[in-house]
Structure 1
Amino acid sequence: MEFSANLGFLFTDLPFPQRITAAARAGFRAVEFHDQAQSSDLRLIAGLLHDEGLKLCSLNCAMGSTAGSAALPGEEARFRAEFLSALEVAEALDARAIHIMTGRTSEAGAEAVLLRNLEFALGCTDRRLLLEVISPAAMPGYWMNSPERFEAVVAALPDPQLRLMGDWYHFSSLCGAAALSRLCGLAPHLGHLQLARAEDRGDPLAEDLPAWLGLRALAMERDLDIGLEYRASLPPAEVLSSLRGRAL
């Protein structure tokens, strides 16, 4: 298990390449991106990851104004282009996983489109593909907005490469006091965890997370990395120290 700095949320006062160095200086041994790398100098990014000894846990397909495109009817060509672009970056940077975003849609054919697009993506790579359940409170209109929708997708497409990105902030919003139990029930499908304070997506200090030891046990049991994707008010090194301290 590694703690991963999400560079879409942390160190955002710096240009994207410099965030990699900042994460290493703060004590992280892994990072994850949104879709910034697709428009960056890949040689530079690869060199920084190598020089700092950082693992790349995951990166996103392009987000755009629709928060992805995988479930958008009529946008199949766009999805394929965006996925192949993300795959090229993942291969160049040796990313463990690619996060596929479904996009915002309420059209009836969205699930069928998503399944076809996922079959295409699975046929292109043996890397882990992640789907994230995102709370409607955080992103209105996002298609993958409940654990039940994720379960329906993996029931229809039971491929072990297809995994859940379990974000504590979103699961807490959706499931309340049952969030940890719900995540544990989905353990066989988990591919990555993300952490933020449940109430406001703030600094996830261990003392503010009653479920922390349960989440840590889940991560250890399933060999999952934990991405810190939160709105920082404290130095990330302080949050990292808090979580590591409670892990001893």
Structure 2
Amino acid sequence: MPRFAANLSMMFTEVPFTERFAAAAEAGFQAVEFLFPYGFAASEIKAKLSRHDLTLALFNTSAGVVPDGADGARYRATFINNLRYAADRFAAHDKRILIEALSPGVKPGYLFSSQYQALGIAEEVDRPNVFIQLDTFHAQKVDGNLSHLIREYAGRYAHVQIASLPDRHEPDDGEINYPWLFRLFDDVGYRGWIGCEYQPRNTTQDGLGWFNAWR
């Protein structure tokens, strides 16, 4: 049975960020994720999570963009060295690092766009706490054949994100058959969170029919 995390940077934007924790819990979510929380004190976020009995599934660091004309290989080598440095320090706290491929249309100039590039980087980093984050929206845009990615690389991804394609709305329309993929994730033994990184068509609450069907 899939476990869903509300993305508080994209969902429940009808209220200020610090009020979205309560909104997500009231809607039935048991976990949340968000993009860049750095404008808020960690203690404040921790208090919100505790108050509403929510798990923090994931949060983002700044994306690495390679400037036009720059040496991409040099940037890649720096990224790999930085990942090793961070992974070794995170391991002491039993924390994982995830890397995510972003499609060029969403993040031009980003260091890598394909899931296979992300997998190659994770292999080269060679740390047991470094995984990929499988965002099916980006993966379908760049690589396609999601069922192959999900089956072949089970155990290599530690977090999943979803949205409809091409509009990046609720996962109940478009070219990706999410009910089928959710069952496939179960079949391959994925037990991590599935982050709802989509932009609601209307209000967040109005678009949660798909979520309620899986509760």
> TM-score over 0.5 for the alignment?
yes
Instruction: Pick closer, same or farther for the CA change 1:49–1:26 going to 2, 3 Å.
Output: same
Q: How far off is 1:187 after superposition? A: 1.6
Q: More displaced, 215-224 or 25-34? A: 215-224
Pair 1:48 & 2:48 matched: yes
Structure 2 letter corresponding to 1:165: Q
What per-residue deviation string (whole Å, max 9, x for no partner) do you get for residues 78-99 of structure 1? Answer: xxxxxxxxxxxxxxxxxxxxxx
8 A Cα contact 1:26 1:236, kept in partner: no
Q: How far off is 1:240 after superposition? A: 4.3
The aligned counterpart of 2:120 is: 152
Residue segments in structure 2 that go unaligned for 5+ positions in a row: none
The aligned counterpart of 1:212 is: 179
Counterpart-to-counterpart distance in 1, 2:25 and 2:57: 14
176, 185, 191: which one pairs with 2:158? 191
Aligned residues: 207
Q: How far off is 1:44 after superposition? A: 2.6
Counterpart-to-counterpart distance in 2, 1:216 and 1:16: 32
Q: Indicate the percent of aligned positions where both proteins have the same amino acid.
A: 27
Q: Aligned runs of 1:87-166 on 2, under 5 Å? A: 102-105=64-67, 107=71, 108-126=73-91, 127-166=95-134
8 A Cα contact 1:196 1:204, kept in partner: yes
8 A Cα contact 2:119 2:132, kept in partner: no
Pair 1:60 & 2:60 matched: yes
The aligned counterpart of 2:6 is: 5
Q: How far off is 1:110 after superposition? A: 1.6
What per-residue deviation string (whole Å, max 9, x for no partner) do you get for residues 100-148 of structure 1? Answer: xx33445231221111100110121121101001111221111121122
1 or 2 for the larger relative contact order (CA 8 Å, sep ≥6)? Answer: 2
Structure 2 letter corresponding to 1:159: R
Higher percent of residues as helix: 1
Counterpart-to-counterpart distance in 2, 1:207 and 1:240: 16
- Normalised to the residue count of structure 1, the TM-score between the two structures is 0.75
Counterpart-to-counterpart distance in 2, 1:26 and 1:243: 9
Counterpart-to-counterpart distance in 1, 2:175 and 2:99: 27
Counterpart-to-counterpart distance in 1, 2:186 and 2:75: 31
Structure 1 letter corresponding to 2:168: R
8 A Cα contact 2:170 2:198, kept in partner: yes
Q: How far off is 1:241 after superposition? A: 4.2
Pair 1:202 & 2:169 matched: yes
Counterpart-to-counterpart distance in 2, 1:142 and 1:51: 37
The aligned counterpart of 1:87 is: none
Counterpart-to-counterpart distance in 2, 1:206 and 1:27: 22
- Normalised to the residue count of structure 2, the TM-score between the two structures is 0.86
Q: How far off is 1:43 after superposition? A: 2.7
Q: How far off is 1:207 after superposition? A: 9.0
**Counterpart of 1:166 in 2: which secondary structure?**
strand
8 A Cα contact 2:4 2:194, kept in partner: yes
